[in-house]
Amino acid sequence: MVKPSSITYKQKVLIYLDRFSNLENDDRGEKPEDITQKGIAENLNISRTHVSRIVKKLNEEGSLKEKKESVKGHHKKLKTYYLTSQGIKKVERLLSELSEIKVDLVIDSEEKELSVTKIEEETDGEIDALTALHLIEDSKDNRIDMEELTPKEPVVSTEDAHKVEEIYGREEELKEMKDWLEENTPVMAVLGRRGSGASTLASKFIDDVEGMHILWIDLKKVSVQDLEDKLSTFLDKIENQEADLDVTDTIDELLNKYALLIFDDYQEVQDEIVHFLSRLLQEFENVSEGKRSLKVMITGRVGTPFYQRFYQQEQIERGLVKEVKLSPLNKDDAQRIIGDEIKEDAMERIMMFTKGSPLLLKLLREGKEEELCQITPWEKEQISLLMYLKTKRKE
């Protein structure tokens, strides 16, 4: 008898596309994105690259045909995919084999044994055959409890995150961060000079993240043992039980969680933390793209010494790490912080001193001379000059 774990991605694509067979001759409007490579990849949790290879092979075998059609949400026509008569016959044979797989379905504490091909009808469309196969492929008892599948509120632990009161500019960087969530790259490093606002930007970013478990860890405040304890506690909350796992098993479990870890303020940290993050990156390398859902974001200094970095250029090139380097704010965004009414010549001199640093601009606006003195090489006379320049208003 066929086993759930033996179903190949090619077979899954055929079963998936079978449900859209009635769309091929429907000329009433735009087609859904579901029958494009992007839709297939997202619905089956396969990388776009893998889907591209699969549809090409199925096309060559005569099981699939492609068209170029108008697709909802897209200006240009995209490639869409449909089963051929040969593909339909393959699906019929496959579904006949799958009908031999039995599932114990639990709904409202009542258990019923049925064929995996009947589960969609029994659950009123909530679980189709492909989803059922995914749920039981690593299971020992082929049991699906509908109550366990009910979405739960994500675990969010962000007590140490910066409170975002305002943010200027950075629209492109925020878009890049949002796009990264949909990409296969597991790690993003947001790097900038001191006061560039990397931590603030990350805080703003997570405000708009929905449906993910989120853990924020301030690396200035933790030892490697604290870090491991925080990850363990985070996993326990996600799974609603105490797993009592070692750190390696904790990481393994987190890799397939729809979760976001943010390690804030990475610069010259303890060697143990460098090694920990290197090991975490190695775990990502050891797991295939389709099996990892975890995302990791690091905020830190662009000038962190080479020997303190936990990743190398080759890992960027291989798509394991993506860097976002924060440039200084431009004059328009800087002026929005200081105030639009300041004279242009005064603003130019302020930019010369602050180099577009959001932190320095905010401290200057708020008149915090002592803090400016502590974190900059400026003399008191220079700070006094800046305080004077910010009072020069346009007439």
Q: Which helix (H) or strand (E) holds 361?
A: helix 358-365
Average pLDDT over the chain, rounded to an integer: 87
Would you state the pLDDT for residue 288? 63
Nearest to 159 by CA among 208, 205, 215: 215
DSSP for residue 225: H
Task: Name the range with the highest mean pLDDT among 32-36, 46-50, 168-172.
Answer: 32-36
User: Which range is least confidently modeled, 2-6, 194-198, 356-360?
Assistant: 2-6
Percent of residues, the chain, with pLDDT higher than 70: 96
- C-alpha 172/C-alpha 150 separation (Å) is 36
The pLDDT value recorded for residue 59 is 95
- Phi, psi angles (nearest 5°) of residue 265: 65, 55
The model's pTM: 0.60
Give the whole-angstrom CA distance, residue 332 versus residue 339.
Answer: 10
Q: pLDDT tens for residues 315-357?
A: 999 889 999 998 888 888 888 888 778 888 888 888 888 888 8
Residues contacting 165, CB < 8 A, separation 6+: none
- Per-residue pLDDT, averaged over 84-106, amounts to 92
290: confidence class by pLDDT, cuts 50, 70, 90: low
Q: Say if residue 395's pLDDT is above 70.
A: no
Could you tell me the pLDDT band of residue 190, with boundaries at 50, 70 and 90? very high
**What pLDDT is stored for residue 15 in this prediction?**
94
Res 302: pLDDT: 83
pLDDT digits (tens, 9 = 90+) for 207-263: 889 889 999 999 988 899 999 999 999 988 888 777 667 788 888 888 888 999 999
- Calpha distance 44→216 (Å, rounded): 30
- Report which of residues 158 and 139 the model is more confident about: 158
Q: What is the pLDDT of residues 47-73, one digit of tens each?
A: 888 999 999 999 999 999 999 999 998
Spatial separation of the C-alpha atoms in residues 128 and 134, rounded to whole Å = 10
Residue 151 has pLDDT above 80, yes or no: no
pLDDT of residue 289: 60
Q: What is the mean pLDDT of residues 15-22?
A: 92
Which among 253, 172, 258 is positioned nearest to 210, based on CA atoms?
A: 258
Q: Residue 57 corresponds to which tokens in the numbers above?
A: 């092979």
pLDDT, position 25: 85
Helix axes 331-338, 358-365, angle to 10 degrees: 30
Give residue-wise pLDDT tens across range 233-249.
998 888 877 766 778 88
Q: Domains in the chain and their CATH numbers? A: 1-98 (1.10.10.10), 100-150 (no CATH), 156-325 (3.40.50.300), 331-389 (no CATH)
**DSSP per-residue letters across 130-160:** HHHHHHHTT-SS-EEETTTTS--PPPEE-TT
